[in-house]
């Protein structure tokens, strides 16, 4: 969906560093990147750190790290500068202060000296009377003279606010229902609905692509932009929310699975993650399920975006991730597996790669499968019959010159044949002896991955 008309497309994401990097941020970033790419536009990262209570610098780094992991890079941002900086709201306070002063000077905003307690009482009162709460405008008409602590409120002029949403079409809100909202907090910091539209205007943002929770905020922000005489963004796109299994918005507090880094730790591939995220709330209109980023750039359009929230389905993510793992070349899989298997050398991992490939949904599962290579399992209790068959196998194996899957396989099959039983009768006790588990890669791989003397020692121990 290229927009050819007029100025260079400029989009942004504006996360607030108040906790771990959130899945929703990844999702929003993806859509911004897709739109910027297809329009050869600029993608900007801005840090919305106006909540001094909860902001922490380390959270900002977490956001960078998570986005980089997913393969996203921005053209402008706090860490790399750009022509519209600074890119941290805490460093742009003068801008907001000036704008607030201008609005007050023009009687489009006013100081409000009400205390949080007083406002709370107003709100409770409204609630008790079952009417929607709007600020009483007490400080507009009759401000107290004996107070010094104040916030700044925007004087809502009323009337309809219309804007274009690329997902939902033309939107109309009635601002008569709004009530005067706070634009500057008593600590001097701007609120989100003030700082965000100001920065979007100052940074020449042409399209605001963000989560659906901001849909009701948009008219507030437009009111501010209009009052200041700034240009509005050309269009908005409010993307469906990512929902928890219970249907509520995935939140940092209630849902630890919203933490992006968790997925890296468990061994999800970034490209699988991006693929799944793209499919959550959007579909190509075909039955295709796998897409690279480049393919998404080519296929994605806002008119095929879902209007309702989508539940995050770990099972489907697992499936897509498995698909990606299976499609990896052995050396690529090996490289990605390294951090998950610190006890193994690269050559061993690469030898195991073909057997691992069809058995992993996430890279982290490799550990359970290969643990026996560095952790000595306890000797199993084998029945006399099992012991007999393992003994026969041990003799055959000990004569083997070449300790590789194929010859191991061949020699074991001979033992199986002479036993007159199915392969499992021989293989399972060997598997138990060597790995201590009932589940492992195919027995020839399981043995070949281990040095021959170690494997033979474990077998010998089991048949003593």
Q: Does 268 bind RNA (CB under 7 A)?
A: no
200 close to 12: Cβ distance less than 8 angstroms: yes
Q: Does 438 bind RNA (CB under 7 A)?
A: yes
**Residue in 102, 252, 357, 452 annotated catalytic:** 252
254 tagged catalytic: no
- CA torsion angle for 224, 226, 229, 233 (degrees, to 10)? 100
287 close to 49: Cβ distance less than 8 angstroms: no
Shortest distance, position 7 Cβ to RNA, whole Å: 25
Ranges within 21-50 binding RNA (CB under 7 A): 48, 50
Ranges within 404-423 binding RNA (CB under 7 A): 409, 422-423
CB neighbour list of residue 347: distance below 8 Å, 6 or more residues apart: none
Q: Write the binding mask 369 to 408 for RNA: x where contact by CB under 7 A, - elsewhere.
A: ----------------------------------------
Residues 3, 51, 82, 403: which binds RNA (CB under 7 A)? 51
Q: Which of 112, 124, 121 is nearest to 149 (CA)?
A: 112
- Using the minimum distance from each CB to RNA, give the nearer residue, 251 or 398: 251
Segment holding 424, helix H or strand E: helix 423-435
Q: Quick one: CA dihedral 31, 238, 310, 304, positive or negative? A: negative
Distance from C-alpha of 352 to C-alpha of 449, rounded to nearest angstrom: 7
Shortest distance, position 186 Cβ to RNA, whole Å: 3
Shortest distance, position 6 Cβ to RNA, whole Å: 27
Query: What DSSP string runs through 45-71?
Result: E-B----TTT--HHHHHHHHHHHHHTT
- Using the minimum distance from each CB to RNA, give the nearer residue, 229 or 247: 247
**Listed ranges 9-17, 70-78, 294-302, 380-388: which one lies at the site for RNA (CB under 7 A):** 9-17
Ranges within 440-459 binding RNA (CB under 7 A): 440-444
CA angle 291, 293, 298 (to 5 degrees): 80
DSSP reduced 3-state for 215 = helix
Q: Which of 310, 171, 287 is nearest to 239 (CA)?
A: 310
277 close to 285: Cβ distance less than 8 angstroms: no
Residues 70, 203, 241, 296: which binds RNA (CB under 7 A)? 241
Distance from C-alpha of 159 to C-alpha of 434, rounded to nearest angstrom: 77
Shortest distance, position 114 Cβ to RNA, whole Å: 6
What residues pair up with 237 in beta bridges, in sequence order? Answer: 209
- Using the minimum distance from each CB to RNA, give the nearer residue, 28 or 39: 28
- Using the minimum distance from each CB to RNA, give the nearer residue, 149 or 261: 149
Ranges within 68-97 binding RNA (CB under 7 A): none
Q: Which of 347, 372, 342 is nearest to 443 (CA)?
A: 372
Q: Which of 367, 345, 293, 353 is nearest to 325 (CA)?
A: 353
DSSP reduced 3-state for 236 = strand
Distance from C-alpha of 266 to C-alpha of 94, rounded to nearest angstrom: 43
Residues 107, 131, 294, 384: which binds RNA (CB under 7 A)? 131
Q: Does 359 bind RNA (CB under 7 A)?
A: yes
Ranges within 286-325 binding RNA (CB under 7 A): 287, 289, 304, 306-311, 313, 315-316, 318-319, 322-323
- Using the minimum distance from each CB to RNA, give the nearer residue, 58 or 287: 287
Structure tokens at 458: 């474990």
Q: Does 367 bind RNA (CB under 7 A)?
A: no
Structure tokens at 284: 């190509």
Q: Does 114 bind RNA (CB under 7 A)?
A: yes
Distance from C-alpha of 223 to C-alpha of 83, rounded to nearest angstrom: 26
- Using the minimum distance from each CB to RNA, give the nearer residue, 7 or 245: 245
Residues 137, 249, 336, 391: which binds RNA (CB under 7 A)? 249
Residues 267, 281, 380, 429: which binds RNA (CB under 7 A)? 281
447 close to 397: Cβ distance less than 8 angstroms: yes
Shortest distance, position 18 Cβ to RNA, whole Å: 6
Compute CA 62 distance to the chain's CA centroid, rounded to the nearest angstrom.
Answer: 12
**Listed ranges 79-87, 93-101, 261-269, 437-445: which one lies at the site for RNA (CB under 7 A):** 437-445
Q: Write the binding mask 179 to 198 for RNA: x where contact by CB under 7 A, - elsewhere.
A: x-xx--xxx-x-xxx--x--
Q: Does 130 bind RNA (CB under 7 A)?
A: yes
Burial tier of 233 (Cβ tally within 10 Å: 0-12, 13-18, 19+): buried
Shortest distance, position 232 Cβ to RNA, whole Å: 18
Residue 11: CA count within 13 A, CB half-sphere: 26
**Listed ranges 113-121, 138-146, 389-397, 452-460: which one lies at the site for RNA (CB under 7 A):** 113-121
Ranges within 199-238 binding RNA (CB under 7 A): 212-217
Q: Write the binding mask 151 to 180 for RNA: x where contact by CB under 7 A, - elsewhere.
A: x----------------x--x-xx--x-x-
Residues serving a catalytic function are 252
């Amino acid at each position: 969906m290229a927009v050819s008309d007029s100025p260079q497309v400029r989009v942004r994401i504006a996360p607030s560093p108040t906790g771990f990097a959130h899945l929703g941020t990844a999702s929003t970033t993806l859509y911004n990147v897709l739109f910027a790419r297809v329009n050869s536009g600029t993608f900007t990262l801005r840090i919305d750190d106006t909540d001094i209570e909860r902001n922490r610098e380390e959270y900002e780094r977490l956001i960078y790290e998570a986005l980089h992991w997913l393969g996203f890079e921005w053209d402008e941002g706090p860490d790399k500068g750009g022509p519209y900086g600074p890119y941290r709201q805490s460093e742009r306070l003068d801008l907001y202060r000036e704008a607030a002063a201008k609005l007050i000077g023009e009687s489009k905003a006013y100081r409000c000296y009400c205390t949080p307690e007083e406002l709370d009482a107003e709100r409770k009162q409204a609630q008790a009377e079952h009417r929607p709460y709007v600020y009483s405008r007490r400080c507009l008409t009759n401000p107290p003279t004996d107070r010094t602590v104040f916030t700044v409120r925007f004087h809502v002029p009323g009337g309809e606010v219309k804007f274009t949403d690329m997902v939902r079409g033309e939107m109309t809100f009635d601002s008569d229902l709004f009530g005067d909202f706070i634009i500057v907090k008593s600590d001097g910091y701007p609120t989100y609905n003030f700082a965000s539209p100001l920065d979007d205007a100052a940074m020449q943002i042409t399209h605001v692509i963000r989560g659906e929770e901001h849909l009701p905020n948009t008219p507030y922000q437009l009111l501010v932009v209009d009052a200041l005489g700034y240009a509005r963004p050309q269009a908005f796109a409010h993307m469906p929310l990512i929902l928890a299994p219970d249907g509520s918005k995935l939140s940092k507090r209630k849902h630890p699975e919203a933490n992006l880094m968790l997925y890296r730790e468990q061994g999800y591939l970034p490209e699988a993650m991006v693929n799944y995220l793209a499919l959550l709330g959007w579909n190509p209109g075909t039955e295709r399920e796998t897409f690279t980023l480049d393919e998404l750039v080519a296929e994605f359009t806002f008119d095929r975006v879902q209007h309702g929230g989508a539940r995050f389905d770990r099972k489907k993510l697992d499936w897509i991730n498995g698909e990606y793992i299976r499609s990896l070349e052995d050396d690529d899989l090996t490289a990605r597996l390294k951090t998950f298997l610190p006890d193994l050398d690269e050559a061993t991992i690469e030898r195991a790669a073909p057997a691992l490939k069809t058995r992993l949904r996430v890279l982290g599962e490799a550990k359970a499968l290969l643990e026996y290579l560095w952790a000595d399992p306890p000797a199993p209790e084998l029945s006399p019959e099992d012991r007999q068959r393992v003994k026969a196998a041990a003799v055959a194996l000990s004569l083997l010159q070449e300790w590789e899957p194929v010859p191991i396989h061949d020699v074991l099959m001979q033992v199986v044949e002479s036993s007159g039983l199915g392969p499992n009768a021989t293989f399972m006790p060997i598997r138990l002896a060597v790995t201590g588990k009932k589940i492992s890669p195919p027995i020839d791989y399981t043995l070949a991955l281990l040095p021959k003397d170690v494997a033979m020692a474990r077998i010998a121990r089991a048949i003593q």
